[in-house]
Amino acid sequence: MKAITTIFSFFILIQIEAAKAEGNATDHVEELELENEVKLPLVVKTTFHMHLEGSLLEDTCLIKPFQPDTLDMCNYNTSNPLVIIIHGWTMNGKMEEWVFKLASALKTRLEHLNVLIIDWRPLAFQPYPTAAKNARQVGLDVANLLMWLEETMQLSMDKVHLIGYSLGAHAAGFAGSHFPKAKKLGRITGLDPAGPNFEGVPAPDRLSPDDAKFVDAIHTFAKSSIGIAVGIRQTVGHADFYPNGGYFQPGCHMTDIYNNVYQYGLEGVPKTIKCAHQRAIHLFIDSLLKQDQEMIAYRCRDDRAFDQGLCLDCRKDRCNTLGYDVRKVHTGGNSKGLYLKTGPQTPFKVYHYQIKILVMNLIERVKDSVSIALTGSEGESQYFPITLSLEHPENKTYSSLVAVGSMLGELRAVRLRWTGKEDWSSWWRRVTTMMSRGGGANETELIVSKIRLKCGESQEKKWFCGQTAAVTHLKPSQEHEFARCQHASKKKRSSRHLQETIRGQQLAKPSHRIKTDQFETD
C-alpha cells in the first residue's frame, strides 16, 4: 500500500503544481519572455545532435545553428529528408534509451535520412508545470533551426517530420506554429502527447492539426482504470489513434509497482507509469521495423462502441495504418478517433473480428458469460469471453469484438459455449422462459439462429450456421460448433420463413418479427 500511496502522492503533487502554475500563468509567461529578451541562456540550453549510429548521446554529432561548418562535420545531407526527435519531461535528467532506438529504427527503415535528436533536458528537468511552459521555448528553438536550414541549405518544409513524445509532442506543435500556411511542416507525430496543463486548452496552446500539413497522434495512457491520466485524451491531429482505448496497455500492470519499487526504489513508480506512456513509442518503432505486421485502426465514436464490434469498416477512409505508414488523409474535421487492439509485446499486431450473433431469446446484455473460439485454415484461437451487446432490438442481433494474436487464415468454423461464470438463477431472469405445451418450463437455453464474422484486416464477411437445424439450442456448460453456411453468398431465409420455423418450435412470440436483411448489413 505504501507504493500505491506514493504514486497517488506523486500525481497529486503534479496536479497541485499545475493548478498553481495556471493561477500564475500570466506572470510566468511574462517572466519567460523577459528572460529571453535580456539574456538568451534558454535558447542555448536546447542542443541539436545528428544521429549517426550508437545508443549514447556521446555517439552523436553536435550541430550548432548558424554555424554551417558543423553541418559538414556531421555529414548532413541536404538532399535527404529530415526527422527530428523531441523527448519529453524528465524526472532524473537522463536521456532515455528509447530516443536512440527510435533513431536507429528510422535509419534502418529509410537509410537515406537525416535524424536529429533534440536535447532540452536542462529545460525539461524541472517541476512539471515549469517544463510544460518551457516547451514553448523548445518549439521556438526548433523553428529557428529549421528556418536557418531552409535559408542556407534550401531545406523544404515538406521534407520535415517532427516526432515528439509527451511534452515533446506539444513542443513539436509549438515549432510548427511558427510557419505560415504556405510553408507548413510536412508532418508532426505526437507519441502520447502530455495531458496535464494541455487537456481542453485552445489549439494554439497545444499540439493541433494547424501545426503541420499532417498531424498524427498515438494515445496510450490518456486514462487508466484507477483514474490516472498522463497523456491527453482529446483529439489533437488529423489522425488520432487510441490503442486499447487509449487506456493502460496490455503487458503494463499497476501491480508491477511493488516489484519495481523493491528493485529500483522510488524510481520504480515512474518506471511503472512509463510502461503505458511509452507504449506509443514502441508501437511506432514496430511500425518502422515490422512492415509485414501493419496495425490497422478503425474510426469509431468511442472505445465502448469499438468493443461492441460496431466499427470495423474501412469504407470512406474509416480505417488507417498506425505509425510511420499512416495514410495522410484528412477527414474534414471529423473528431472521431481511430481505435484498435494490440498485444502485450512486440510484434503488437492483432487481428480484429466483428462477431454478430442472432439470438432469439436473450432479453438483456450478458457480460463474460459467453465464449467464442475461431478455427481457420492456418490455426485456431483460444476461447475468448465476449459481451453480447444488443445492436438491433427488433431482430435480436448482438455484436461483440474479438482480437486474435495470430493469423488464422480462411475461417472454417466457430465454436460457442456458455462459460458458467454467472449463476443459473441470473440466467433464468435474462433468458426468456419458454413454456411447453404441457405448461411446464423448459430448461434454460440460449437459442442461436446464425453467426456472422467480419475480419477487420481483410474486410471479408463469413456466415456460420448450426450443423443440424435452422436454430441451435445452447444449454449451460454446453459447446456447439457452427460451420460455414452452405449458401453464404445468397441472402438468408426470408423473415417470414425464419419466423415460421421459430413459431413452429414455440421459440418466439408472434410480435417478435425478425429482420434478417438488417442483420446482413454493418
Q: Which residues are annotated as a binding site for Ca(2+)?
A: 206, 211
Q: Is residue 471 within 8 Å of 434, Cβ to Cβ?
A: no
Q: Is 156 a catalytic residue?
A: no
Of 393, 395, 287, which Cα lies nearest the Cα of 346?
287
Backbone φ and ψ for 400, nearest 5 degrees, come out as -160, 180
Q: What does the alpha-carbon distance between residue 195 and residue 379 come to, in Å, rounded to a whole number?
A: 42
Name the residue type at position 231. G
3-state secondary structure of 31: helix
Q: Which of 277, 282, 352, 473 is catalytic?
A: 277
Query: Sign of torsion, CA 470 474 478 479?
Result: positive
Label the pairing between strands 461-466 and 411-418.
unpaired
Q: Is 72 a catalytic residue?
A: no
Q: What does the alpha-carbon distance between residue 186 and residue 333 come to, in Å, rounded to a whole number?
A: 19
| DSSP character string of 85-114 | EE----SSSPPPHHHHHHHHHHHHHHSS-E
Q: Which of 119, 141, 192, 240 is catalytic?
A: 192
- Residue written as grid cell 434478417: 516
Q: Which of 166, 177, 399, 400 is catalytic?
A: 166
List CB contacts of 202: < 8 A, sequence separation 6 or more: none
Exposure string of 65-83, with b = 16+ CB inside 10 Å and e = fewer, is beeeebbeebebeeeebbb
Distances (CA, A) of 457 to 18, 345, 391, 400: 42, 20, 22, 16
Q: What does the alpha-carbon distance between residue 61 and residue 83 come to, in Å, rounded to a whole number?
A: 15
Label the pairing between strands 187-191 and 160-165.
parallel
Task: Please report, in range form, the residues annotated as the binding site.
Answer: 206, 211
Q: Is 166 a catalytic residue?
A: yes
Q: What does the alpha-carbon distance between residue 358 and residue 516 come to, in Å, rounded to a whole number?
A: 9
Provide the 8-state DSSP code for 512: -
Q: What does the alpha-carbon distance between residue 105 and residue 99 come to, in Å, rounded to a whole number?
A: 10
- Indicate which residues carry an active-site annotation: 166, 192, 277
